[in-house]
Amino acid sequence: MDTKMTIIPQKFYAMDFAFYNSMGLYSFQDRCEIIKEVGYDAMHWVAWDGRNWEEALRLGTVKEKFDLEVAGVYIVLDLSLGEHDIRNSGILKMLEIMPEGSTVELAIQSAGRGIRPSEETGDVPVMAWLKKALLIAERRGIRILLYTHIQHWIDKHSDALRVCEKMNHPNLGMIFSSGNWYMGEGNNLSQLLKKGMPYIKQVNLAGARRSPLGFFKVATIEPLDMGELDNFAVVALLKRMGYTGYIGYTGWDEGGDVYNKLERSLKMLKDIDRRINAHPHWGNHLNF
């Protein structure tokens, strides 16, 4: 009898953060063409806020035109502006017109005026807004995944987990971002993932090293073949805990030759996956 473990092919995506630099932004077509040529399975679109809600219509053309899947859409909710500000209300419009079955990654910058990052008093207004969004998401088969971003209201993955546990909605989950974990919590990863695994539906990775010159003066965000953060150990732990979904490359605010950095990072993603499949026990005694 064959007792070998079945290996599920891993799919990789690139967030289009990588295409932003001081000289401007590559066109949507260029972004898709480059991501496809480098060899990723999917692109990931950054919508920023609800003012760009109509642009979500073009996501329905990506598969046919570029032979790419769309792994997700990143957008920011800022309740300090009020629910009716187009930057927030436009998110609900986007949910109504984007392709059915899409994944929305929701960063929550503020839960309201005077509410600090991670402050639990923000749970009430955030959950009230999410109930409205989830009515649309449930009807259209859309996943809303809470995105941890340092110095936002969802400042730590434990904040996203707390909201997911309280709401317990099948269309609500969370992202695990290695870069934001490294810059935020930076420890107790095993415990976090053990609790979060029922809700973690997508993962993105960044190379990073602690530096006052980095993002928010905390840490750099780099290609995956650079930095001090051990993404191999992170992904190995995720896999041991049963994660089988997409894994993505963050690429935020790096500048330079985007093709080169996308290519290097995909090479690293594939090699991490190869090593984990060949040596699943590597790193399982690390204490982090």
In tens, the pLDDT along 104-137 reads 999 999 999 999 999 999 999 999 999 999 999 9
Say how many domains are in the chain: 1
User: Other C-beta atoms within 10 Å of 77: how many?
Assistant: 26
111 neighbors 72 (Cβ within 8 angstroms): no
CATH number of the domain at 52, please.
3.20.20.150
pLDDT at residue 130, as a whole number: 98
| Nearest Cα residue to 272 out of 241, 238, 221 | 238
- Token representation of residue 190: 């095993």
Has residue 214 been placed in a domain?
A: yes
| Nearest Cα residue to 88 out of 122, 111, 71 | 111
Has residue 7 been placed in a domain?
A: no
User: Other C-beta atoms within 10 Å of 113: how many?
Assistant: 9
Distance, in Å, from the CA atom of 7 to the CA atom of 9, rounded to the nearest integer, reads 6
> What pLDDT tens digit does each residue of the chain (288 aa) get?
444 556 678 999 999 999 998 899 999 999 999 999 999 999 999 999 999 999 999 999 999 999 999 999 999 999 999 999 999 999 999 999 999 999 999 999 999 999 999 999 999 999 999 999 999 999 999 999 999 999 999 999 999 999 999 999 999 999 999 999 999 988 999 999 999 999 999 999 999 999 988 888 989 899 999 999 999 999 999 999 999 999 999 999 778 899 999 999 999 999 999 999 999 999 888 878
Q: Which domain, by its residues, includes 130?
A: 12-278
